[in-house]
């Protein structure tokens, strides 16, 4: 195993996200629950930070792209997206867990590709 020079953030939807999904016209996901939404969440790599507040500030800088990635993973039609996608709304819609230790348990190089511009 190898230490990775990154921290991570886990982006976990909260009730307002589920409420939005349930309000989208034509939504047929009647069995969708908050627990199921929070069971497989987006994880992003962050720069290493000395203080958790630095990681939160980094999330604040990236919130717009993160918000768009989260809603686009359900609906790519921007007309269906929430009207308020402000920083305040982001923190109302998502919990963010910051973790400072990242280990790579796989031998070999990490490959990556851009998440795309939304």
Let me know if residue 99 belongs to a domain. yes
Establish if 51 belongs to a structural domain: yes
> Which range of residues forms the domain containing residue 69?
2-104
Number of domains in the chain: 1
3-class DSSP assignment, residue 56: helix
Summary mean pLDDT of the chain = 91
Quick check: is 117 in a domain? no
Spatial contact of 43 and 77, defined as CB atoms under 8 Å apart: no
Judge whether 83 lies within some domain: yes
Q: Give the mean model confidence (pLDDT) for residues 14-30.
A: 90
Which band of pLDDT confidence, cut at 50, 70 and 90, is reported for residue 102? confident
pLDDT of residue 30: 75
Asked whether residue 115 is assigned to any structural domain, the reply reads no
pLDDT of residue 116: 57
At 76-100, the pLDDT tens digits run: 999 999 999 999 999 999 999 999 8
Question: What's the pLDDT score for residue 90?
Answer: 98
Q: Is the pLDDT assigned to residue 101 strictly greater than 70? A: yes
Residue 109 is assigned to a structural domain of this protein:
no
Residue 68 belongs to some domain of the structure: yes
State how beta strands 2-3 and 94-99 pair.
unpaired
Does residue 65 sit within a domain? yes
pTM given for the model = 0.86
pLDDT bracket for residue 10 (50, 70, 90): very high
């Amino acid at each position: 195993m190898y230490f990775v020079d990154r921290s991570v953030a886990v982006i976990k939807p909260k009730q307002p996200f589920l409420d939005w999904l349930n309000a989208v016209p034509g939504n047929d996901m009647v069995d969708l629950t908050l627990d199921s939404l929070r069971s497989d969440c987006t994880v992003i790599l962050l720069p290493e930070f000395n203080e958790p507040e630095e990681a939160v500030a980094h999330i604040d800088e990236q919130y717009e792209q993160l918000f768009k990635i989260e809603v686009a993973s359900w609906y790519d039609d921007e007309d269906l997206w929430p009207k308020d996608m402000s920083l305040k709304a982001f923190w109302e819609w998502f919990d963010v867990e910051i973790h400072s230790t990242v280990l790579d348990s796989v031998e070999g190089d990490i490959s990556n590709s851009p998440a795309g511009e939304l």
